[in-house]
Amino acid sequence: MEAVLAFLAKLINIVFLDLILAGDNAIVIGLAARNLPSSTQKKAIFYGTGGAVLLRIIATIVVVWLLKIPWLLLVGGVLLIGIAYKLLADDDDHTDIKAGRTLWGAVRTIIVADAAMGLDNVIAVAGAAQQNILLVIIGLLISVPIVVWGSTLFIKLIDRFTWIIYLGSAVLGYTASNMITEEKRLQPFFEEHPALRIAFIAVVILGVLIAGYVKKRLDQQKKKNENSYG
């Protein structure tokens, strides 16, 4: 029973991380298909997302395998800390995404853009799955349809309840710091000093949240000043 509950907890974590990090991907899907007729838009979204999911699953499985190599858990954890900060600090409008003129043009744009932007999802899911391939596949199969069909609703929810983004960054911070403490060369040290492990995880989570919040406030103030002078 404990094993089942642990599996479900990890699965929920993966789905939540995917949804938090999928706002950009949902925007890309919409932008890539925006010039197509409504009937063709649905096909472009369906085929494009299908191709993107397949690529994402393969990429995540590769990363899960790579994370078994010494020191790569540490590298993945550090990268994920950067992603957690970026989630709070960035304000990207994606105006550089070109809309496809044909069905397959839009499908290609969706797959290529998703692959280029999907590194954060891949590292986060690989870290949260803790080298369980089944969790990776189930998590992606659950979350991607939600992204495609419920992306607008989810983006509205995030805009309305900004704390969801902070919760997502905190979960990413936890996943990242947990990956670092599970690095085989560092694990004995953290197992010997459990209080230090807890303190390290807490410092990473708080550091990400504070740095992201400060950057966001500074950017908002900068925009406000530019608008007042403009």
Q: Could you tell me which residue, 228 or 150, shows the higher pLDDT?
A: 228
What is the mean predicted confidence (pLDDT) over 21-27?
Answer: 64
With pLDDT > 70 as the criterion, what percentage of the chain qualifies?
A: 78
Q: In the prediction, which pLDDT does 190 show? A: 93
d(CA 101, CA 106): 7
Number of H helices, E strands in the chain: 10, 0
Report which of 48, 26, 56, 213 is spatially closest to residue 125, judged by C-alpha positions.
56
Report which of 154, 176, 197 is spatially closest to residue 83, judged by C-alpha positions.
176
Q: In the prediction, which pLDDT does 136 show? A: 81
What is the mean predicted confidence (pLDDT) over 186-206?
Answer: 94
What is the mean predicted confidence (pLDDT) over 123-144?
Answer: 80
Are 100 and 84 a contacting pair, CB within 8 Å? no
pLDDT at 97 over 60: no
d(CA 227, CA 230): 5
DSSP code at position 130:
T
In this prediction, residue 92 has a pLDDT band, given cuts at 50, 70 and 90, of: low
pTM: 0.74
Q: In the prediction, which pLDDT does 91 show? A: 56
What is the mean predicted confidence (pLDDT) over 137-159?
Answer: 68
How far are the Cα atoms of 84, 169, 185 from residue 87, in angstroms, in the given order? Answer: 5, 7, 29
Are 212 and 89 a contacting pair, CB within 8 Å? yes
In this prediction, residue 86 has a pLDDT band, given cuts at 50, 70 and 90, of: confident
What is the mean predicted confidence (pLDDT) over 42-47?
Answer: 77
Count Cα neighbours of 89 within 13 Å in the Cβ-side half-sphere.
15
Are 37 and 107 a contacting pair, CB within 8 Å? no
Count Cα neighbours of 162 within 13 Å in the Cβ-side half-sphere.
6
Q: Could you tell me which residue, 106 or 30, shows the higher pLDDT?
A: 106
Look-up of token digits 């642990």: 6
pLDDT at 206 over 70: yes
Structure tokens at 9: 């907890």
Structure tokens at 155: 């983006």
What number of other Cβ atoms are within 10 A of residue 140's Cβ? 23
Q: Picking from 17-26, 126-135, 171-180, which range would have the lowest pLDDT averaged per residue? A: 17-26
With pLDDT > 90 as the criterion, what percentage of the chain qualifies?
A: 13
Give me the sign of the Cα torsion angle 123, 125, 18, 35. Answer: positive
d(CA 110, CA 100): 9
Are 76 and 127 a contacting pair, CB within 8 Å? yes
